């Protein structure tokens, strides 16, 4: 997997999580996911189609989701499944939106689809041409696992037809 595609997601996750939680986050683990992805907690999936295609799964531990929800709403939040799902979807939306903004400004053109619940305990393994990279963003409140499996669909027009 090309780091030029992954780096914007890492930067966006770092920036959004740090800003939302008002505390630093660190990448405590990074690995290639060769098996079917096993969900840890509440997860949301966003599909990307266009010059780059694939999907990103955001998987957030409850403690982290509650802290993010409280930061977003300014009130204490109960750990109810629906609230956790909404929180994770919005977090995914924020991170992926910021990442694709960077990629678009680099010349890639694609569409981001609205987040959907990823409720299956298993599923979405990488393939030979779409490897999945899993990053664990850790903070005192818990972890966010970001599973990214994207690839070039078409090379950028500038690469295909250099001036």
Partner 1 sequence: MGQFAALLRATDHQPVRYLVVDDSVFARKNLARIIDSYGGMLAGEAADGCTAITEYDRTLADIVLMDITMPQMEGIEAAERIVRQHPDARVIMVSSVGYQENIVAALQKGARHFVQKPVKPELLYEVIKYVLGDAAVTASISSAGV
Q: Which residues lie closer than 8 Å to 75 by C-beta, 6 or more apart? A: none
107 dihedral zone (left: phi>0; alpha: psi -120 to 50; beta): left
In the complex with partner 1, the residue whose CB is nearer, 4 or 19, is 19
Matching residue, tokens 């664990």: 136
* Residue 96 lies near partner 1 (rule: CB under 8 A): yes
Quick one: tokens of 60? 């957030």
- Piece of 34-42, 104-112, 120-128, 152-160 that binds partner 1 (CB under 8 A): 104-112
Min. distance of Cβ 125 from partner 1 in angstroms?
26
* Residue 98 lies near partner 1 (rule: CB under 8 A): yes
Of 3, 22, 34, 74, the one binding partner 1 (CB under 8 A) is: 74
In the complex with partner 1, the residue whose CB is nearer, 89 or 133, is 89
Answer yes or no: are the C-beta atoms of 24 and 18 closer than 8 Å: yes
CA nearest to 115, candidates 130, 97, 132: 97
**Would you give the binding string for partner 1 spanning residues 20-39, x where CB under 8 A is met?**
x-------------------
CA nearest to 57, candidates 30, 39, 71: 39
Of 24, 81, 114, 140, the one binding partner 1 (CB under 8 A) is: 114
* Residue 117 lies near partner 1 (rule: CB under 8 A): no
In the complex with partner 1, the residue whose CB is nearer, 114 or 121, is 114
The terminus-to-terminus CA distance of the chain in angstroms comes to 27
């Amino acid at each position: 997997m090309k780091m030029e595609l992954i780096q914007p997601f890492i930067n966006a996750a770092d920036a959004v999580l740090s800003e939302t939680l008002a505390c630093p986050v660190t990448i405590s683990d990074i690995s290639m996911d060769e098996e079917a992805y096993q969900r840890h907690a509440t997860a949301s999936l966003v599909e990307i189609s266009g010059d780059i295609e694939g999907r990103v799964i955001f998987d957030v531990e409850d403690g982290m989701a509650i802290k993010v929800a409280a930061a977003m709403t300014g009130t204490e939040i109960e750990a109810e499944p629906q609230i956790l799902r909404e929180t994770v979807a919005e977090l995914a939306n924020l991170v992926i939106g910021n990442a694709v903004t960077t990629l678009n400004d680099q010349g890639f053109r694609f569409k981001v689809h609205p987040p959907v619940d990823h409720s299956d305990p298993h599923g979405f393994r990488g393939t030979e041409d779409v490897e999945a990279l899993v990053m664990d963003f850790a903070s005192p409140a818990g972890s966010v696992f970001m599973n990214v499996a994207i690839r070039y669909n078409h090379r950028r027009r500038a690469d295909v037809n250099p001036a």
